[in-house]
Each structure stands twice: as structure tokens, then as C-alpha cells.
């Protein structure tokens, strides 16, 4: 059983003619209704400034709140857009990501949660909007989880095609929160080399443009899976599907089945009866997003049924 955290409100985060569009969340919603209607659907709660400032500077948080336009669009950077109804989506994406942690603690369970949010957040820095997102959903949730005292070691696995610079920078000095990422490199946002290791808690697996399924699997297994021998109390996925071969924003050629494989290999090694929180990041071809996410969810369901 998967607990889906999702809100229809995400349709109101209007970005106009932009890759991170309303259509993305409609595709995700269609997938849930078509194939996962027998699973739990949970409405996220709205995050407050105190929660967001667990990882973001409060001056930056105030700036975002104060910069939502009354009409039209406001650009936080050339790629990151706010419209009049965007703030509620930002706050629900953060709140829903933290709700998963709260429910795990309250129910004392090892359940699986998929946070079907937009916009994505792994590029958001402590004091800077980047890459379509303004708040780092995964980082805020992981920091909240760690501060709860219930989770001593946390793993974040990011298979989005773009390196999660924001998540890495937020945790690069945190010895108990590990961040690992496979991503096209060199590529946007420019970070993610193997030399970036933090306190030993950062592992990057760069993929060259044109990387195919066989190469991806070999690199991910050798450079990530085989390098980590820690036990974790909580596992996150920053689940982006823009490494799919159909995606227009990158040049990695993964197949639908690769998203099942990468989820499965992480769970098999590290998820020894621990809770899982997966948070939607990228994916900008609608067919690739639908089938890539479906493959990821199949692996999560198998784990939840064990």
C-alpha cells in the first residue's frame, strides 16, 4: 500500500508555456486514478515560515512570500516562475513532504509515501530559487525528520537527470544525512562532480550525455550502491523522470524499466524494514513521466507488501 500525498491545488500553480507545467501534475493525477485508486490518498497541509526556515534563511522565505504577483508572472530566476496562486502550491509541497514524516512518527509505522507535488525543489538553495523551485521539499522534510530524534541516519537518493545542488549544499556538512545522486554531467546546474564529497556523506555519479540503460545501471551500482555500507532509519527518493529517453530537457536515454531497477536496487540494499518517502522532482515528457513514475511506484508497492 502506498500513501499518496497530493492536492488538486497544484493545478493552480500556473507557469504559462513552461516545461514545469500544469500538465505534469495532471499526468500524475491520471496515473494515480488509473492504476492506484485503491491506495491511500492524503491531502497535504500548508507549511508555515518556521517549518520552511529549518533549511532556508528566513529573509529569503520572507522574500518569496512578498514576491508573489497580484497578476501575471514574477521570475525568481529565468527558469523559476510565480503566478498569483503559486504560493499555496509551494507551501503544500513543503507541508506534504513533512506530513509523511509526521504520519510515520505518529503511527509508528514503516509505510511508503509518495509525495506528488509541484513544483520540484531539489535545486532550491538556502537563499536562492533555482530550477523551477523555490523551497527544497526533500531537504526540509529530511531536516524535520532528523530533528525529531526518531531517525539517526537518513539517506536521500536523487535520480533526477539534474544534480540536486540545493540538497547537496544544505547537507554537505551533515554527517548523518547522506545525499547520493546520479545525473547528467557536465550539465545544469553545473555541480555534481565526483570530487564533491561533503563530510563523506555526499556521493555523486555523473553520467555523460547519451548514457544508455546498461551504462547507467553499471555506474549506479558501482559508484553508489557498492560504496555505501551504512544502515539507515529513513530513506528518501528525489524522484525525477527526466533521465527518460523521451525527455526534451536532457540527453540521458533511460527506459521505463530503469526507474523500477534503480528503485529496487536501493531498497534491496538499504531499506531493511524502514519507512520510505519519495518526492516528485522533474520529468518533462508526459509519456516518459507517466511510465517512468509507474515503474518507480511498482517497486515501492513491492517493498510495501513485503
Residue 123 among the catalytic residues: yes
Selecting among 13, 56, 117, 123, the annotated active-site residue is 123
- The span from the CA of 196 to the CA of 194, in Å, is 5
- Name the H helices within 36-163: 49-52, 58-66, 86-107, 137-147
Q: Is 112 helix (H, G, I), strand (E, B) or coil?
A: strand
Q: Please state, as a whole number, how many other Cβ atoms lie within 10 Å of the Cβ of residue 301.
A: 16
E strand or H helix that includes residue 275: none
- The span from the CA of 229 to the CA of 234, in Å, is 15
The b-or-e profile of 98-121 (16+ CB within 10 A means b, else e) is: bbbbebbbeeeebbbbbbbbbbbb
- Name the H helices within 36-80: 49-52, 58-66
Of residues 163, 167, 2, 136, the one with CA closest to residue 60: 136
List Cβ neighbours of 273 (8 Å cut-off, separation of 6 or more).
110
Q: Please state, as a whole number, how many other Cβ atoms lie within 10 Å of the Cβ of residue 263.
A: 25
List Cβ neighbours of 144 (8 Å cut-off, separation of 6 or more).
51, 54, 98, 101
- The span from the CA of 216 to the CA of 206, in Å, is 10
Name the residues annotated as catalytic.
123
Amino acid at each position: 500500500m502506498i500513501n499518496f500525498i497530493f492536492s488538486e491545488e497544484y493545478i493552480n500553480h500556473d507557469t504559462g508555456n513552461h516545461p514545469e507545467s500544469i500538465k505534469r501534475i495532471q499526468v500524475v493525477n491520471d496515473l494515480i486514478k488509473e492504476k492506484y485508486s485503491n491506495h491511500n490518498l492524503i491531502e497535504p497541509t500548508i507549511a508555515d515560515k518556521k517549518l520552511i526556515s529549518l533549511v532556508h534563511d528566513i529573509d529569503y522565505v520572507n522574500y518569496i512570500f512578498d514576491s508573489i504577483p497580484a497578476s501575471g508572472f514574477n521570475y525568481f530566476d529565468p527558469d523559476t516562475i510565480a503566478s498569483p496562486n503559486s504560493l499555496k502550491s509551494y507551501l503544500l509541497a513543503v507541508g506534504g513532504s513533512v506530513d509523511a514524516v509526521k504520519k510515520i512518527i505518529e503511527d509508528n509505522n514503516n509505510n511508503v509515501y509518495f509525495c506528488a507535488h509541484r513544483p520540484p525543489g531539489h535545486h532550491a538553495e538556502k537563499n536562492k530559487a533555482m530550477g523551477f523551485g523555490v523551497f527544497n521539499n526533500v531537504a526540509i522534510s529530511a531536516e524535520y525528520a532528523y530533528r525529531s530524534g526518531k531517525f539517526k541516519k537518513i539517506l536521500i537518493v536523487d535520480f533526477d537527470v539534474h544534480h540536486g545542488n540545493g540538497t547537496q549544499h544544505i547537507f554537505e556538512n551533515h554527517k548523518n544525512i547522506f545525499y547520493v545522486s546520479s545525473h547528467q554531467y557536465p550539465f545544469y546546474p553545473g555541480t555534481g562532480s565526483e570530487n564533491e564529497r561533503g563530510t563523506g556523506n555526499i556521493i555523486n555519479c555523473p553520467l555523460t550525455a547519451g548514457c544508455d540503460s546498461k551504462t547507467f545501471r553499471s555506474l549506479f551500482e558501482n559508484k553508489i550502491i557498492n560504496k555505501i555500507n551504512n544502515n539507515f532509519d529513513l530513506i528518501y527518493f528525489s524522484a525525477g523522470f527526466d533521465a527518460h529517453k523521451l525527455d526534451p530537457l536532457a540527453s540521458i536515454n533511460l527506459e521505463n524499466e530503469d526507474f523500477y531497477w534503480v528503485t529496487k536496487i536501493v531498497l534491496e540494499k538499504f531499506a531493511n524494514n524502514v519507512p520510505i518517502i519519495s518526492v516528485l522532482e522533474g520529468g518533462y515528457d508526459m509519456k516518459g513521466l507517466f511510465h517512468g513514475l509507474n515503474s518507480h511506484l511498482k517497486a515501492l508497492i513491492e517493498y510495501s507488501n513485503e
